[in-house]
């Protein structure tokens, strides 16, 4: 893929993610989930789409679906503090203190790292190799 094509692909990915966020913030959850499904069809290994899906399911009060989405987000990219934070809260809500503690420990570890390192690792995990290198 050329540099220009890669830039267009990343811009498209970010535009779809932002569209889903905007819809969620306007409480248009089914529409946000539809945009995320489009994004998943194009970029199935993009961790932040699963994180956003988790936000949507939280608003729908579907804790099980939210946990599933967030677990996929951190499986793909273990440097997502917001996902670990939501997982901790959801595990506590669901009465799973062991998993809540593990999520809290992951979040605490990320918070001890320099923000630039966390950002670079997150970009790298999502395949943004050039942007990831620029952050370190």
Task: Identify the CATH number of the domain in which residue 118 sits.
Answer: 1.25.40.10
Give the three-state DSSP class for 60.
coil
Q: How many domains does one find in the chain?
A: 1
Dihedral (Cα; 50, 52, 54, 59), 10-degree rounding: -160
DSSP 2: -
- Which has more pLDDT, 130 or 97? 97
Q: Which of 79, 84, 27, 18 is nearest to 52 (CA)?
A: 18
Coil, helix or strand at residue 134: helix
pTM of model > 0.85? yes
Judge whether 136 lies within some domain. Answer: no
- 79 within a domain of the structure (yes/no): yes
Is pLDDT above 80 for 60?
yes
Average pLDDT score over residue span 39-64: 96
11-20, 101-110, 122-131: range with lowest mean pLDDT:
122-131
Residue 116 belongs to domain spanning:
3-130
* Rounded average pLDDT over 34-61: 96
């Amino acid at each position: 893929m050329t540099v220009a094509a890669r830039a267009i692909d990343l811009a498209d990915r970010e535009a779809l993610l932002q569209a889903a966020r905007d819809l969620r913030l306007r409480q248009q959850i089914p529409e946000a989930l539809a945009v995320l499904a489009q994004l998943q069809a194009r970029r199935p290994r993009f961790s932040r789409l699963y994180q956003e899906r988790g936000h949507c399911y939280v608003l729908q009060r579907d804790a099980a679906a939210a946990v599933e989405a967030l677990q996929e987000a951190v499986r793909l990219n273990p440097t997502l503090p917001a996902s670990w934070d939501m997982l901790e809260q959801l595990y506590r809500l669901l009465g799973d203190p062991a998993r809540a503690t593990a999520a809290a420990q992951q979040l605490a570890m990320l918070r001890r790292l320099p923000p630039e390192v966390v950002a670079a690792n997150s970009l790298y995990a999502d395949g943004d190799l050039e942007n990831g290198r620029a952050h370190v």
